[in-house]
Amino acid sequence: MMPFAAAFACLSMPALDSAAATILVVEDEPTVCELAAEALLEEGYRVLTAADAWEAEAILARESVDMLFTDIDLARNTNGLALARLARSAHPDLPVIYTSGGRACLSAADAVSESVFVPKPYRPSQLVALTNDILRAAHPHHA
């Protein structure tokens, strides 16, 4: 079973600071995406958003991302689990947070290593705190 945490997702937002860590939020529910993105933006992160794994893959191909926050079951029958595996194949140390409203937990066999699962609903403050903790550990220069 994966540890619990928090997460969000939505449309691409402008960077507040070019040195800020970049978070890719992948969420097919626009309101949930917007809430997550706004919370992370207010914390000073650069936030990119995608509604499905295909959009996220295109972003990952052209952008440097410091953390992936993804819903598991996405639009157009795409899947956050497969997206995280693909992202990790290119960036083995990429921190990943999963979320889902349809699952209470996520098995370690389904998830990429050292990832975190946060069930929906979660609070934006949970997502921000978790993101801060993960990025502080993974990228001390962003702390």
- The full DSSP string for 73-96 is B-GGG-BHHHHHHHHHHH-TT--E
Instruction: Label residue 115 by pLDDT band (50, 70, 90).
Output: very high
Residue 41, φ and ψ in degrees, nearest 5: -60, -45
- The pTM of the full predicted model, rounded to 2 decimals, is 0.85
Strand order in the sheet with 96-100: 46-50, 22-26, 67-71, 96-100, 116-119
Domain 22-142 is found in CATH 3.40.50.2300: yes
Continuous H helices in 25-123: 30-42, 53-62, 80-90
Q: Tell me the C-alpha distance between 100 and 107, whole Å.
A: 13
Amino acid at site 113: S
Each residue's pLDDT tens digit, 32-86: 999 999 999 999 999 999 999 999 999 999 999 999 999 999 999 999 999 999 9
Q: 78: closest CA among 113, 115, 51, 105?
A: 51
CA–CA gap between residue 101 and residue 14 (Å, rounded): 28
